[in-house]
Every structure is written in C-alpha cells, then in structure tokens.
Amino acid sequence: MTAPLLHGLARASLEIAGERLDGDELSGAAGAVAASLAGRSRVAVWCTPEVATGLGVAGALLAGVTVVPLNPASGDHELAHETGDSAPEAVLASAAAELPASIAHLPRIVVDPTARAEPPTGPEPAATTTALIVYTSGTTGAPKGVVLSRGAIAANLDALADAWAWTDDDVVVHALPLFHVHGLVLGTLGPLRLGGRSHHVGRFSPEAIAAALSADGTLLFAVPTMHGRLLAAAEADPTIATALRSARLVVSGSAALPARVHLAYAAATGQQIIERYGMSEALMIASARHDGPRIPGAVGRALAGVELRIVDEAGAALPAGETIGEVELRSAALFDGYLGRPDATAAALRDGWFRTGDVGTLAADGVLRLVGRSSTDLIKTGGYRVGASEIEAALLEHPLVLEAAVLGLPDEDLGERIAAWVVMMEGADLADAVLMDHVAALLAPHKRPRVIVRVATLPRNALGKVQKQRLRSSE
C-alpha cells in the first residue's frame, strides 16, 4: 500500500528565502492551512519564492484539495485563462503578496506561517484524487491544464528516491520556480514525502547556492543556465568549487545540458552531473542513477514504473540503436489528461502510449539520448534526418561560442536548411564560414549550418528552455 503523499511531513523541514519551519511547527503550519480550506475542493496558489507557497501547497494536499500553481510572472491574459479554465474557489498567498487585478475575483486566503493547527486525521484521499493542475507553457496554443493525481506524484518521487538513494538525511538545495513540477514536485514535495529538508535559497546566485551547500546541503537541483553560471563562478572562486564538490549529488534538468558544461563541471568541481528527463505530463521519466554512469548527452535510463520506446512517424516501434524517432512512454506517473480537453488528451496517446513530442535514440542498454522536439528540433534536410541538439553541441565545442540554438527553415531545394542562432564571446571576430566548417568537421558535411544568426541573448522561459518559436519568427 502506498504511503500518504506527504508521508515524511513530520520529519521534514522547509526553508525558502531564509524563513524555515521544522518538524512539528511545519506540520502545525500546514495543518492550519488545511483547516482554512474546509469546504473547498480546488484552490490556486500564488507561487512566489517564500515559505507561504510551500505551506499553501502542503496544507491543501493535506486537506485533499486540488492545487493550481500560478506563476507570478504570468501576464493578465495567461492568468485569466488559467483561472477561468481551472475555476479555483480561492487563491492562497502570503500576506505580503501583491495579486494582480486579473485574479481579484478570487477570494484570497492568507497563508500565515505562524498559525498552528493539528493536521487532518481522516483517511488519506484516494491515489486517483487530483493533486495538481499544472499549466503547460502554451507554445503551441493556449496553455493546457495537466491533471496530476496524488498516486502519480507519490510513485514518481518513490522512483526518484530509488534512483538517487534519496532519504530523509538529504537536504535539497535549489532556486527553482515553485509553479513548475521541477521546483514544486521535486524540490518541495519530494522532501515532504521522503523526509529531509527543502532549502530554496530565494533568488538564485552562485554565492547563495554555495552557502547552502556548505552549510548542510546534499542534493543540488538546477537547470542548465544555472549550472553554467555555477561553473563560471567555480572556475573563478575556489570556495564555490569546494561547496559544489561537497554535494552528494548534483542534478540537472528541464533542458539539455551541453556536454562541454558537463565535462568542465567535473574538472572544476569533481562533480559528474546527473541528468534527468521529465515533463509536466509524466513528471520524471528517465535519469542517471546515483550508482551508475553519467554520460554527457544522455539522460539515463527509464525510472522504475516507466516503459520507453522509440517510434517512427507511423507509430511503429524502432529497434534499439542509433535510429532517431519519437519518444513514447507508459508510466505509473502519467497524467490523467488535459483539463476539459478530451481531444488534446486523445491526440497525446497512441495505443496506450504517451507521445512526448521529443525525439531521440534508445540504446540496447536502455540509455536514452534526446535530440530535441519533433516540432522544432527534427530537421529534414537533403533527405537526411538531423537532430538540432547535436549541431548545437558541436557549435558549443567552439571556444568562442557561449550559446547556440538550431532550427530548420523552409528551403525549396533541401526541404529544410539548417540555421543556427549563436551568442559569441564578447569581442569575438569569427567568420560564419569558420563556424560552419567547425560543425562539418565534428559531425558530417550535411549537418553544417547554412545560416548563422548572431544574437546578444537567446530567448528563454523561466526554466531556462530556449523559446525557439520566437527565434523562427525573428528570422
């Protein structure tokens, strides 16, 4: 029988931006939130980086109430869509939070970290009960509400505990957004289920992360852009390198980690980063293990309870090896569907397998490598199928290239021509042909970019993922 979702709450500790609650005081504060939700079935939580956010989510889940996490950086149209679509009965927020007019129609419930009440003593809600409704980024239309059950979250966190030897002795250090599954489910609910501590440093900085790790942190969760800044800081400051070296595990996710960063990180800190693969609809899907190899460019093997396969465009399973195809999965942590969108839910499934929209290869030993999204990162050029990520990785091997994003653009002759947007080191003076030849030398001539666009920055979302559609529209 699966343990209650927040099984480790009484042994856990929650710290966000310097405010901390431990054990009984954490349970009591979450119990007070639960008591304030009597008669409610679904609430929104205003997910600012403060302890009230973690308490709001924990208290709602203790009460069996569904949580709709809201991104404080969202615009009025997004917030109106998400709250209109999910119809929360109230919004939980700290006393200091300033809520926008677009959600002023929702009754406000103030989360008070000093309030105390006994946690609910009734039976644990059924595993099929909806825990979270998390909204997608909306890159292909209006954001969709991903319905995640309590059982899915519990199963996924237990699988991660196995993969990472994650126990109540661990202190998770992070600075991730709390409205997304990376920061909310892994970084916050993970310790509340498994015990241990969640230490969110508030605003990200290498110095803040290093201080938390030096104190007692054991696990570091971060996205590649954060790891890039941590690497640069570690190379410049031995104390930051020492702090990173002290972590038991360093984990990267939410976007691809360049192989160059993976290798340089190991050289500077002694840490071989664990890469993992996940998405809102399936939570965490694959990961390197604590006791297994960490392979640059790979996201490990399927977690317990997850099956993976690679299929062609017709949905036929492809043999293990180097053939690129779409990643499909079956999982104990799969979402229940898109809220109010049976059409979208049906389109996302094929013969019981979830279509991730990601493309990659699955080796005979189960190691998964991703090359990008099928909609933007699988390029068909001159009769070849090329993954954008391998070209991006090749560009990043050049010492003057800081960032790179690759897309296929329509071409009458080739079908698609390969275009690369690059951020160069300050003052770099390098001809486009040099970068093109650099890629051709590392990969193959047909994989060389035909177009080089130099930009000051790449557009990214809150999790550090490059927003390639914005690049396409600016070409």
- The model's confidence at residue 259, banded by pLDDT at 50, 70 and 90, is confident
Query: DSSP states of 10-64 as a string?
Result: GGEEEEETTEEEEHHHHHHHHHHHHHHTTT-SEEEEE--SSHHHHHHHHHHHHTT
User: Could you tell me the pTM of the whole model?
Assistant: 0.84
Instruction: Say if residues 48 and 69 touch (Cβ distance below 8 Å).
Output: no
Average pLDDT along the chain: 91
Residue of higher predicted confidence among 157 and 461: 157
Predicted local confidence at residue 138, as pLDDT: 58
What is the mean pLDDT of the segment spanning 364-382? Answer: 80
Tell me which of 47-51, 214-218, 400-404 is least confident: 400-404
Q: DSSP label at 301?
A: E
The reported pLDDT for the residue numbered 356 is 94
Q: Cβ distance 69 to 16 under 8 Å?
A: no
Q: Answer whether residue 139 shows pLDDT above 60.
A: no
Angle 336-341-344 (CA atoms, 0-180°, nearest 5)? 85
pLDDT tier for residue 78 given thresholds of 50, 70 and 90: confident
Q: Which residues contact 329 (CB under 8 A, 6 or more apart)?
A: 282, 285, 302, 306, 307, 308, 309, 353, 354, 356
Range 231-251 average pLDDT: 97
Give the pLDDT score at 383: 63
Q: Which of 327, 348, 328, 373 is nearest to 466 (CA)?
A: 373
pLDDT at position 66, please?
Answer: 98
Position 297 scores a pLDDT of 86
How far is the C-alpha of 389 from the C-alpha of 386, rounded, in Å? 9
Range name among 115-129, 256-270, 298-312, 450-464 with the lowest pLDDT average: 450-464
How do residues 13-48 score in pLDDT, each as one tens digit?
A: 999 999 999 999 999 999 999 999 999 999 999 999
Task: Specify the pLDDT at position 462.
Answer: 63
Hey, what are 185's tokens?
């489910």
Contacts for 267 with CB less than 8 Å, ≥ 6 apart: none
Q: What is the mean pLDDT of residues 279-289?
A: 96
pLDDT tens profile 442-460:
887 888 899 999 999 898 8
Ordered by where they begin, the domains of the chain are 9-194 (3.40.50.12780), 378-474 (3.30.300.30)
Entry field: residues in the chain = 475
Question: Where is average pLDDT lowest: 6-10, 83-87, 220-224, 255-259?
Answer: 255-259
Range in 239-243, 335-339, 470-474 with the lowest mean pLDDT = 470-474
d(CA 340, CA 147): 10
Q: Is the pLDDT assigned to residue 321 strictly greater than 90?
A: no
**Burial of residue 118, with CB atoms counted within 10 A of its CB: 0-12 exposed, 13-18 middle, 19 or more buried:** exposed
Q: Above 60 in pLDDT, residue 59?
A: yes
Structure tokens at 275: 């890469």
- CA-CA distance, 403 to 394, in Å (whole number)? 11
Give the per-residue pLDDT at 410: 84
